[in-house]
Each structure stands twice: as structure tokens, then as C-alpha cells.
Amino acid sequence: MDSFGATKSHAVCVPFPAQGHVNPMMQLAKLLHSKRFHITYVNTEFNHGRLIRSRGEEAVKGLPDFQFETIPDGLPPSDRDATQEVPSLCESTRKTCFAPFLELLAKLNSSPELRPVTCIVSDGIMNFGIKAAEVLGVPYVQLWTSSTCGFLGYLKYRELTERGIVPFKDENFVGDGTLDMPIDWVPGMNNMRLKDIPSFIRTTNPDDIMLNFAMSVSEECLKSTSIIFNTFDELDKEVLEVIAAKSPDNYAIGPLNLLCRQIPESQCKSLNSSLWKEDASCIEWLNKMEPKSVVYVNYGSVTVMSDHHLKEFAWGLANSKLPFLWIVRPDVVMGESAVLPKEFMEEIKDRGFTTSWCPQEQVLSHPAVGVFLTHCGWNSMLEAICEGVPLICWPFFAEQQTNCRYACTKWGIGMEINPDVTRDDVKALVKEMIEGDEGKRTRQMATEWKKKAEAANSIGGSCLGNFDRMIKKALHHKTS
């Protein structure tokens, strides 16, 4: 990628401290670095420690003109190797991070070895980044790391409360059909039900932390001068048009992981943001498998489930008699370590591979992978789209339900599994997706979207153009 010669630009990048936010911010930081920005990448102290444990000290040494700094997250110290509780993290970063972030910026600006900070790239749910940019008088842009359709869903939270739909009157809404109510009054979102709106509305408490947090940060993000969405124009055309009418200075730049392929590997190979230690031996196992034969199962970095559901997934996969690669994080079961039954391990020893984490992009690009059973986190969905891999969707929380609805009804790349999953559901769906006609259709659609994503991120494509336009318009001082 060529450069604007922006040798005097110094961007401070601050992600929300969870894996699904850290990854796209790192991808954006690499892209800016390739345009000769000096980068200061700001992790929380907790995540900085996890990064060193998973990747070694080399991971945080950075590159020339790329350095790591930390701020506290305001939560009690912990050495647990897992994502912190999301509501606590949201509340704490919102209340406590502004002052230490300002202190860090003052330290950077007073360092004789560094260029002064010229712009801030802030996670869309970390609004203290905007406030700090305003204090310094520097340009800023917000990166909305989750889906664009999810963003539009969050923007409807206030209307849902004003209409008296949310919060719900009592807990009966869970099973009485209320969540099946059609939502036909959201411009840009067709064929939606209440259950497809991001899940933090599912509360009876008007003071619910996540309901109010999501409502506030999405509205604040919309008011900011510039927003980057990790998508491409064709994938989210209608939603982007609705958002553009409310906030004209936004940029569809993505999938960021695909755009990063434009950077020579030698420039950024040492930069990796995985907070878990990756087991690459699964690639050797995949090398022995037939093309499009393997079911890849990964619920992402935050999803937790009951021990009952874990066992239903296990026996469904075993009973399908298909080969599978299953990522089982130690903390995937609520409140306890995930332990798979001994009989299950014996049953699947010749055709199942289980591990606690893997290099997901490498796995999804492997010719042996035929379908991806996913929680519908946005990074996972984009990585699947980039590789043309169809989906079995088991959304957990937040905007994953919205992503699932779009994947299954609008983009045609997935099938949804029952939230109260049973082994028979798992067996039937994985067999259909690997061997059946519906699987064939979704794979064809996934291949089409892969081509469209590649076109958008190629020379002359919309994403490269949007990226260059964003740098010129959003991140350079208007006076310079």
C-alpha cells in the first residue's frame, strides 16, 4: 500500500478490552502503520498481561514506530486467563478510564523521543477516547467493531423503551411468544423480530447496566464526527444508507482482516493480538482430511453455556460420524471448567480434534473445512465470509442474534440452530450442511460473498478508497 507520506502523524488506538474488539483495532492499527503513522496501541493492564502470557514478550515489543502502552481498567486485579465479566467491564471503563488515558496522552506528548499525538482512534464503545481528543484538540475517528446491522439495532433501544416494549413487564416474555413479535418499523432492517434485536433488551429492569450502556454508547457514537464500520458497502448497503442519513461521515472499511492482506507480511508479522495461546497442531490434523469434510466449531472468546448444552453439542457431533475440529475454551461452561465425558473422547478419537484455542483465520482458509458452527460474533462471521465458509448459527448475546438473522435470511450463508440445543439438532444440521442440498446452496452463496468481499478490498475496490478518504478527511488536521 502506498503512503501519503504521513510521517508526522501519531495515532493512539484504544480498543475495548475484549478479544472481539482488540482484533479489529489491531488490524486497523496495522493498516495505519502501513501508511507511515506512528502507532501507540493502548491495552488495559490486565489484557497486556494476557498478551504477554499467550504470545511472549516479543508480542509487545512492537515495530519501529509501533509501541504498546497500558491504562488500568478500574476492576480488581485478577490473574484469570479469560475475558472479564462484560457488564463490569463496560461500567468500569466508562467511569474510570478517562483520567488515566489523559495522563497517558500527556506522557506521550512530553516524550522527546516521540512525535506529538496527532489523532485518536477510539473503539465505538469507549467514548472517553472522543472526550480526550476534544481536550487535546486533535481529530479522532471511532471504530465500531461489531456489525453495522447490530449498531442499527442498538440505535432502536430508545424507541423500544419509549414504546413501552422494553423493559419487559415480567419474565414471561422468555417463553410466551413475545420475542417473536415482528419489528417492521426500523428503516433498513427488514424481516426482523424482537428476538433479532441485540439481546440486552431482554430484561425487566429499567436500570439494567447493559441495556443503558448499549443505548448510550451507540447514540454517542452516532453523534461523533467520523465512524469506521468493519464491513463493505455491498454487504450492508441498506443499513449503511440509513446510518449515512443520520451521520454522513462514516466509512465502510472491511473486512479489516482482508484489507490487511494488502500489507507486506514483513511489515507486520510480529504483531498479533490473540489473548489466548493458539494450538497450531490442529492444522496438521486438518491436512489429513478430505476437502470440505470437516465441521469447525468455535463459540468465540466470551460465550458460556451450561454443562448440559456442552454435552448435547458433544454427542451431536459424535453421532454425526463426521470429522470435526472443536474449540473448547476452559471457561466455556458457566462457573466451572469444561470437561468432556470420557466415553465421548473414546467415541471420537479417530475423527474429532478438540483444543482450547486455534489460529482461526488459518483454520477457516483450510480446504478441509466445510462448515463453521459459530456464536455469530462479528469477527468470526467476517472471517468466514472472507473464506467462503457457510455457517451454522448459535448466537449467544449482544448483536449476535442480529448477525444470525442477517446471515440466514438476507445473505443466505447460514442456518440457525435451536437456542435450547439438542444432540439431534446438532447431528441433523451438521449432516445437512456437509452433505445436503441446503448445505450446497448456502456454500454457493458463501462463495459469492467471498468474491464480493475480495473485490471490495482489492486495488480500485470500495474499501481501499474509503480507507484513503478516511485518512485524508478524518485523521489529518484540517489546518495542516
Q: Would you name the residues annotated as active-site residues?
A: 21, 123
Residue type, 376: C
CA distance 317 to 340: 12
| Paired sense of beta strands 391-393 and 352-355, if any | unpaired
The DSSP 8-state label assigned to residue 329 in this structure reads -
CA-derived radius of gyration, the chain: 22
Distance, first Cα to last Cα, the chain? 23
Neighbouring-strand partners of residue 144? 229
Whole-angstrom distance, CA of residue 477 vs CA of residue 464: 21
Q: CA 201, CA 195: separation in Å to the nearest integer?
A: 9
**CA distances from residue 471 to 12, 130, 226, 248 in whole angstroms, order as listed:** 14, 17, 11, 16
Q: How many helices (H) and strands (E) does the chain have?
A: 20, 15
Cβ neighbors of 268 (< 8 A, separation 6 or more) are: 30, 33, 34, 63, 260
DSSP letter for each residue of 70-104 = EE--SSPP---SSPPPHHHHHHHHHHHSHHHHHHH
Here the cell at position 175 is 417463553
Angle at 65 between CA 59 and CA 67, to 5 degrees: 40
8 A C-beta contact, residue 366 and residue 283 = yes
Closest CA to 139 of 123, 117, 169, 154: 117
| Sign of the alpha-carbon dihedral angle for 33, 38, 42, 43 | positive
Contacts for 299 with CB less than 8 Å, ≥ 6 apart? 305, 327, 329, 332, 374, 375, 394, 396
